[in-house]
Structure 1
Amino acid sequence: MADPHELTALEQWQALQNREISPSELTEHYLARIEKFNPALGAFVTVTTHAARARARYVEERMPRTAPLWGLPFADKDLYLRAGVPVGFGSRLFEGFVPDESDDLVQALDDAGGVSLGKTNTPEFGLASYTESLAAPPARTPWNLALGAGGSSGGAAVAVAARLLPFAPGSDGGGSIRIPAAACGLVGLKPGRGRVPSASGIDKLGGLAVGGPLARTVADAALLLDAMIAPRDGHPDHHYALRAPGDETPLLAAAVRGEGRFQLGVMTTSAWDDAYDITIAPEAQAALDLAVAGFAALQHGLEETALKPDPSYVPAFRALWQAGAATIPADTDAQIALLEPLTQWLLARGRALSARDLAEALAALTAFERSFIRQLSKFDAVLTPAMALTPRPVGWYDADDAEANFAQQVQYTPFTSMINVSGLPAIVLPVHQTENGLPMGVQLIGRPGGEATLLALGAQLERRIRWQDRVPPEPA
């Protein structure tokens, strides 16, 4: 058998099922890679070596092999609580905090038979689209260590791209799965609102943040997503799911088969265009052109489309993002001083909003959601660039001027947040590699409940381009 990390997650699962390797052996393999390579990459902020070994033994001895992720390693993003493991939320404010209970998504992945190896790096409270906090070293894309991994699931993306994990869960409130997937050459899937019961978005302000997978292949992403969706013992009714899981074919089937012909829109406009200077870099355009040519060769229908300008979007989204920071538990001057300048700005602006301001912002974004879905309804999926620019250098974002920082984030990633507002599913596919070896991706936006279509389209393009064969250099 090849070194386990050279196999896809699905192939590793099959090796576990065939007793070619045990959960303990697979866990030890990845722990050794983490110890060797993580210092240069900044993927993990906590490695739970002893707990991972104990968990692997428990899975071997106590859990049925039918569990969806039986024996496969993963790691928790450091925004999620795992009982007994420090959680920092990417912030100095929570240094040393150890929770007594685990979040629902953590429990769901445990129920699925996974083995957590620790906590992956994230920016402060997941608020930024890059992972360079004051609480931990920056997360760097393994394709070029001078460049950032994106955020906020930056550590998770680095771990998967550098083969420190087979796959990893992330969360996405404005692009936080898709941005690091694009920067690290991965498949990143943001499910539709309500699809994942334990990280549905329904209980979040504006319904923005949902949980989803980061993986090297489309099938691996589907494997993890199916496990995130799977019914849990004691939670058969899925109060936080809009569509009850289990009443349709597993998404892995769509990803493996990769069947169907679809009508695709091609779009380079975004909801930010009228308020910010958005420029699509040649490398981003090249990725889009490559995807368009690939889908055309696969005989899908393709038609250019554009969004109608909506001046209400930008102020409403900014208000909602600021309001989301208002509940950060920093009330004294000393606590606020521990926060980073961007977080302090968001918190202050959020706490200054009135109830009327927030209500009007939510109403505007609800109207945008309906308009956005209506405008794209003629297509099975809509293709956009993943990012407007190449992966950004570490230290590129303005650390002191919050307005300038926010503008930089918009200019890098103008195509993601509108998908969170609309509640639609979207997938990033790493279709292109630049002359200097950087990954560049495209985004496919699906219809409501359209994850299977996105996975089928992604599988078809993956078979044609074979991005899974690209391997980043190992850090020296």
Structure 2
Amino acid sequence: MNVDELQAALADGTTSVDLTQAYLDRIDAADGELRAYLHVDPEAALARAAEIDAGGTRGTGLAGLPVALKDVVVTEGVPTTSGSKILEGWKPPYDATVAARLKAAGTVLLGKTNMDEFAMGSSTENSAYGVTRNPWDLDRIPGGSSGGSSAAVAGGLAPWAIGTDTGGSIRQPAALTGLVGHKPTYGSVSRYGLIAFSSSLDQAGPMARTVLDAALLHEAIGGHDPLDSTSIDAPQPVLAEAARRGAGGDLAGLRVGVVRELGGEGHTDGYEDGVLSGVGGAVSRLEAMGADVREISCPAFDLALAAYYLIAPSEASSNLARFDGVRYGLRIGDDGSRDLDEVMALTREQGFGPEVKRRIILGTYALSSGYYDAYYGQAQKVRTLISRDFSAAFEGVDVLVSPTTPTVAFPIGARVDDPIAMYAADLCTLPASLAGVPAISVPCGLSEGLPVGFQIMAPALADDRCYRVAAALEAALTADRGDRGFLDQLATRRGSAA
């Protein structure tokens, strides 16, 4: 069931306790295979649901609806690990703003979802607590780093979830599991209480079964937050209404730019034919609804991968310095025989996984004396060029579109020994992250029985435009198929209760 259907059920007399119990039962039945969750507390979830029922607010807004949170979102009194051994067992003393706003809206926390350690990965194979599997094919990855959230929603273990996106970590797993995933405009959703990977890139956002569901969840978490110095103090666009308007299917006058550098002519190396076919079909559907489609060139997008893997690791090397084995989390070797430097070194050696170490080393090198200008400084210049390409493109079009990922979900283990191939999974999502503009992934077809994602990018603070176009495409493709969507197939194949 979609969230609007769950809301109707709650308003019609279904209790939040019954709804929460249904999802807890589904978690108990299926998560042994999927490993979408790192922490679930059934007693706390049911107690929260009973509180909502007693308050008489279920069925109003988000009240009474269960939600899952990626384990990078700090939650008071609930284990929060960021997928890392170095934070094993840590229970924060406060809520992230995202968690606090969902709590204030009356949602019920089902649990914390698995993720690549400190959000560093594209497959959720880098978690210190095991690999999450794709509900469409248990031998394939669910994307990353928000793979636990994508698997939970796609597998019917949650109606929707919060992920975070640094270089594509909401959109890419959404695409690989047949979901809608939106990366908001940077600064429009508070980062307060998100365990930082790359402070100039990290952004929390929704992952859901439908565009409208994603918009509803986004509205609940968005808006200015004085606790976040990067938070934008501006009115938030009306997102759910934009999704409802878009579902009407009228895109007359909308100018759509197809990005040549992201799977267009001369730039198809590494892109699967089935992905390009699905995306091409989606573009045709937009044109049939009245959109004016044209090709747009953004030359600096070709440099996004290299720039990102200098900027993000550089910021990570600074952010992760706080994990020293002294203030919180894991502490190794503190038996009185070692000095503080030895304790910190041992803690980091055993607490950080290989991918995190790789990125810390890369980032520290890029920031080091004599190399800063050649590497980090140059990457920031490329970032400026990418932003300028977006600005120039949006002078002529309203949205830009591309594949979300070059391929469908790949087999578990296929790229673990090839970091460059793994990083290429984010090829299409990186430009929007570096520029800070909003971008959404919506399912647009199947290739070899696996979902294909279609990415829609808009100017900063025009998130509503993403939702409008995505909803129009979703409605058109659903009408073409004569069903409610790709997840209906999944429900049949995997026995999902949702």
Fold in common (TM above 0.5)? yes
CA distance in 2, matches of 1:362, 1:168: 32
Residues 145 and 110 of structure 1: is their aligned pair in 2 closer, same or farther, counting only changes over 3 Å?
same
Deviations 1:210-268, CA, capped at 9 Å, x for gaps: 1111111111111111111268xxx689865425336x5x3111111215431101124
Secondary structure of the structure 2 residue equivalent to 1:370: helix
CA distance in 2, matches of 1:282, 1:395: 22
Residues 311 and 74 of structure 1: is their aligned pair in 2 closer, same or farther, counting only changes over 3 Å?
closer
Q: Does 1:188 align with 2:181?
A: yes
Residues 454 and 315 of structure 1: is their aligned pair in 2 closer, same or farther, counting only changes over 3 Å?
closer
Q: Does 1:169 align with 2:183?
A: no
Q: Which moved further from structure 2: 26-35 or 77-86?
A: 77-86
Residues 310 and 123 of structure 1: is their aligned pair in 2 closer, same or farther, counting only changes over 3 Å?
closer
Q: 2:424 aligns to what?
A: 411
Structure 2 counterpart of 1:8, one-letter code: N
CA distance in 2, matches of 1:439, 1:89: 27
Structure 2 counterpart of 1:257, one-letter code: R
Q: Does 1:14 align with 2:8?
A: yes
Residues 310 and 389 of structure 1: is their aligned pair in 2 closer, same or farther, counting only changes over 3 Å?
closer
Structure 1 counterpart of 2:291, one-letter code: H
Structure 1: which 5+ runs fail to align? 1-6
Structure 2 counterpart of 1:263, one-letter code: R
Secondary structure of the structure 2 residue equivalent to 1:332: helix
Q: Does 1:244 align with 2:238?
A: no
Q: 1:431 aligns to what?
A: 444
Q: 1:5-44, aligned counterparts within 5 Å?
A: 7-19=1-13, 21-44=14-37
What is the TM-score when the length of structure 2 is the normalising length? 0.84
Deviations 1:179-226, CA, capped at 9 Å, x for gaps: 10011001111111122245699x985621111111111111111111
Q: 2:368 aligns to what?
A: 354
1:10, 1:223 within 8 Å by CA — same for their partners in 2? Answer: no
Question: How far does residue 379 in structure 1 lie from its aligned partner after superposition?
Answer: 1.0
Q: 1:84-103, aligned counterparts within 5 Å?
A: 84-103=77-96
Q: Work out the number of aligned pairs and report it.
A: 455
1:323, 1:347 within 8 Å by CA — same for their partners in 2? Answer: yes
CA distance in 2, matches of 1:184, 1:268: 25
Q: 1:51-200, aligned counterparts within 5 Å?
A: 51-62=44-55, 64=57, 68-197=61-190
Q: 2:476 aligns to what?
A: 464
Question: How far does residue 351 in structure 1 lie from its aligned partner after superposition?
Answer: 2.3
Deviations 1:98-151, CA, capped at 9 Å, x for gaps: 222121111111111111011101011001111013522311111111100001
1:178, 1:189 within 8 Å by CA — same for their partners in 2? Answer: yes
Q: 1:3 aligns to what?
A: none
Residues 146 and 277 of structure 1: is their aligned pair in 2 closer, same or farther, counting only changes over 3 Å?
same
1:206, 1:421 within 8 Å by CA — same for their partners in 2? Answer: no
Q: RMSD of the TM alignment (CA)? A: 2.8
Q: 1:225-244, aligned counterparts within 5 Å?
A: 225-229=218-222, 240-244=230-234
Question: How far does residue 26 in structure 1 lie from its aligned partner after superposition?
Answer: 0.6
Q: 1:309-348, aligned counterparts within 5 Å?
A: 309=300, 313-326=304-317, 327-328=319-320, 329-330=323-324, 331-348=344-361
Structure 2: which 5+ runs fail to align? 325-343, 479-484
2:37, 2:114 within 8 Å by CA — same for their partners in 1? Answer: yes
Deviations 1:40-91, CA, capped at 9 Å, x for gaps: 1111111111110111112222474586311110011111111111112111
Residues 418 and 80 of structure 1: is their aligned pair in 2 closer, same or farther, counting only changes over 3 Å?
same
Question: How far does residue 440 in structure 1 lie from its aligned partner after superposition?
Answer: 0.8
Secondary structure of the structure 1 residue equivalent to 2:188: coil
CA distance in 2, matches of 1:454, 1:135: 34
What is the TM-score when the length of structure 1 is the normalising length? 0.88
1:140, 1:148 within 8 Å by CA — same for their partners in 2? Answer: yes
CA distance in 2, matches of 1:460, 1:266: 17
